[in-house]
Chains A and B, each alone.
Chain A
Amino acid sequence: MTNSTFSVVRLLVRRSLAQHAVATGITILSVALASGLLLSVFAIQSQAYSAFTGGPIGFDAILGARGSQLQLVLNCIFHLETSPGNLPWKLFRSIKDDPRVSLAIPYAVGDNYFGFRIVGTTDELFTRFEYQAGSKFRTREGGHFFDSSRKEAVIGSFVAQQTGLREGSKFSPYHGVIFDEKMLHEEQYVVTGVLEPTNSPADRVIWIPIEGIFRMGGHVLRGSGDEFKAEAGVEIPDEHKEVSAVMLKLKSPQSGFSLDRLINRQGKEATLAWPIGRVMAELFQKIGWVNRVLELVAYLVVVVAAASILASVYNTLRERRREFAILRALGARRRVIFSVIVFEATAIAAAGSLLGVIVYAGILSIASSIVRAETGVVLNVFQYHPVLLFGPLGMTALGALAGLLPAWSAYRTDVSENLVPHS
């Protein structure tokens, strides 16, 4: 095809799209929605998998009551599930002193503030724990971590954003992990610091000293097997204390193997969720069929979009037969007519695919805010995924393919028959 012929093809495509602007616009929109959906499904799947199986968690293992490892991880890392039960304090002490463990931080739950989980822990969470290599929790300017002997709290950035709590704010916890306005505790806590955003589930947590959980009104400790209620000003004996779980940093992967054998296979008292990434990966495997259904739906929508390109271009053929006949009479070869239709379908698909990236950004932004609100995990709209490149390219190629049938029909246009005046 010569340059001048190619210019004519481009001109004809441009003008035809403009002439059928409404149909073209609707088709581009449907391609954009299909393309955006396809990109979103794959990108969300990929990012969610990465975030839940290898995001900024910081711990290697969770020690909790005998039960489901998944429940332990969801409860302690993603703050989603209820605790499967409690561990006596002596188990916390024993794992903390274990030479295979480099860091053991207690995790005690049971209260919330407007749905945001209140977790009792020790100040080691702020002084020793790194949620990512080299990154410790930091309070934003003007704040500091809590004093373990006071009713003080450090809150995640998302909690601050959603509740309006800030340094110096006072609040009273509500009993239970699900918000119920009738379950208000009498104790009042002061916010001493708001954590810098970590883009992790920790952003959705209110951290208070573990003593606060032990001493919260109405809480009963059963570490010794008997019920014990803490009294103000009186030290709580260790035998009565209990924790929901212990978050562990191990010295080596071998430590994990060893502790796994000791606790999960030989022991009957507790459960070790290790490694956390594997536990979550197993969850994703279990719900893998949902992903496949979503992928299938996305592919079907893409096929429907390609069919809409075909229908849209095909519908214009009837009124354009004479145009093609005129072009042929002026010397245009059949393949020029063929090219006009294929380029037209390709142009619609390409425009839709480009717009699809914007649709994708919109869907991911909405999905990201929902996922963040529910789990604290942040999905990144701008994170590269191969589908962002190959999706639009594939959609454009599919559009070109959809143009082949109408192009073939146009290719076969009978010139003399279509040059006969209608009147």
Chain B
Amino acid sequence: MPNVLEIESLRKSFLGPDGKQSTVLDIASFLVADGESVAMRGESGTGKTTLLNVIAGILRADDGRVTVAGREMSALSERARDRARADSIGYIFQTFHLLQGLTVLENVTLGMAFGGNFEKDRGRELLKRMGIDSHAAHLPRTLSVGQQQRVAIARALANKPRLVLADEPTGNLDTGRAREAVALIREVCRENGAALLLVSHDPSILAGCDRIIPLAEINRAGQAS
């Protein structure tokens, strides 16, 4: 099975407040196969979000190669990384990051526009799949936390990504609901043929993924992000 994500000799460091460079990521190799669901466990401040941002092309690696869906993100211009992100990557954030001024349906279809394949019907289908189609015209703040999370999941899948990145996607939910939410993310990713890379500090929600990897196992950097 081909890999949707390939990381090789990745290094990322930041300038600390003391003026010294501190390395956050030092990953020799990491692969995610097409359609695979991978859970990555790591304590807060160990570079999980930084890793996802580097994979998504939001941050640029200092060194090494990051290839997503055949495109080497680390070698692309910012414009091309934006396009690659819009085309191939779905992102679920810890606090959902829904745009409060837009309706639920608009939030879901927003990402499609940047990928150039705007399909309102697909947005509605996804909302139906998530069981929140009756809220399509509502503003996010009128929804419960669980419903908002479903909107965030639908948005991440709207542009038919090959890789979904989920950064602590259950941060605001209790353990029971968090498990349900992760199960739903896995299920929907599978239905849409997307690979999933889910990072969390909470090991209890990671069960059910094809692989569970402690970040410390692949990240040689000892510094906190």
Which residues of A are in contact with B by a Cβ distance under 8 Å?
2, 4-5, 7-8, 11-12, 15-16, 18-19, 322-323, 326-334, 336, 415-416, 419-421, 423
A8 near B58 (CB under 8 angstroms)?
no
- The distance in angstroms between the C-alpha atoms of A415 and B91, with both chains bound, is 13
Instruction: Name 22 interchain pairs, CB-CB below 8 A, sorted by A.
Output: A2-B113, A4-B116, A7-B113, A7-B118, A8-B110, A8-B114, A11-B102, A12-B102, A18-B101, A19-B100, A322-B97, A326-B93, A327-B110, A330-B110, A330-B111, A330-B114, A333-B83, A334-B78, A334-B82, A336-B114, A419-B58, A423-B95
Tally chain B residues at the interface, Cβ within 8 Å. Answer: 36
B106 at the interface (CB under 8 A from A): yes
In Å, the complex CA distance between A326 and B58 comes to 11
Contact with A along B78-120 (1 / 0, CB 8 A): 1100110111010101110101111000100011111111100
Set of chain A residues within 8 Å of B181, measured between Cβ atoms: none
> Contact at A8–B101, with CB atoms within 8 Å?
no
Interface residues of B (CB under 8 A from A): 49-50, 53, 56, 58-59, 78-79, 82-83, 85-87, 89, 91, 93-95, 97, 99-102, 106, 110-118, 155, 159, 171
Could you say which residues of chain B place their CB within 8 Å of the CB of A419?
Answer: 53, 58, 93, 97
Check if B94 sits within 8 Å of A421, measured CB to CB.
yes
Q: Is the CB of B82 within 8 A of A332?
A: yes
- Taking a contact as CB atoms under 8 Å apart, the answer to whether A2 and B116 are in contact is yes
Instruction: Decide if the interface of chain A is mainly helix, strand, loop or mixed.
Output: helix
Chain B residue nearest to A421 in the complex (CB) = B95
Chain A residues in 8 Å Cβ range of B110: 8, 327, 330
How many Å lie between the Cα of A177 and that of B195 in the bound state? 95
Which 4 A-B residue pairs are closest in the complex by CB-CB distance?
A331-B86, A331-B114, A4-B118, A15-B101
In the bound complex, residues from chain B placing their C-beta under 8 Å from that of A18 are 101
Closest A residue to B58 using CB positions: A415
Closest to B168 in A: A421
Given the interface pairs A333-B79, A419-B93, A419-B97, the reply to whether A328 lies near B116 with Cβ below 8 Å is no
Return A386 CB to nearest CB of chain B, in Å: 39
Tell me the bound Cα distance from A198 to B92 in angstroms: 74
A5 to B79, CA, bound (A): 14
Q: Determine whether the beta carbon of B59 is less than 8 Å from that of A416.
A: yes
Q: Are B94 and A4 in contact (CB under 8 A)?
A: no
**Other A-B pairs, 19, CB within 8 Å; known A7-B113, A326-B97:** A5-B113, A5-B114, A8-B110, A15-B102, A19-B101, A323-B99, A329-B93, A329-B97, A330-B86, A331-B82, A331-B85, A331-B86, A331-B115, A331-B159, A332-B114, A336-B114, A416-B49, A420-B49, A421-B94
- Cβ A8 vs Cβ B113 within 8 A: yes
With A and B bound together, what is the CA distance between A323 and B106 in angstroms? 14
B135 to chain A, nearest CB (A): 17
How far is the CB of B118 from the nearest CB of chain A, in Å? 4
Chain B residues whose CB sits within 8 angstroms of the CB of A19 once the complex forms: 100-101
CA distance A16 to B86 in the complex (A): 23
User: Known contacts being A18-B101, A419-B97, A421-B95, is A328 close to B86, with CB within 8 Å?
Assistant: no
Nearest chain B CB to A247 CB, angstrom units: 68
Q: Which residues of chain B are near A423, meaning CB under 8 Å?
A: 95
Pairwise interchain contact B85-A11, C-beta atoms closer than 8 A: no
B69 to chain A, nearest CB (A): 13
B91 CB to nearest A CB, Å:
5
Q: Are B83 and A331 in contact (CB under 8 A)?
A: yes
CA of A334 to CA of B101 in the docked complex: distance in angstroms? Answer: 20
Choose among A8, A327, A331 the residue that contacts B87 (Cβ–Cβ < 8 A): A331
CB of B124 to closest CB in A, whole Å:
16
Interface centre among B78, B102, B117 (most CB of A within 10 A): B102
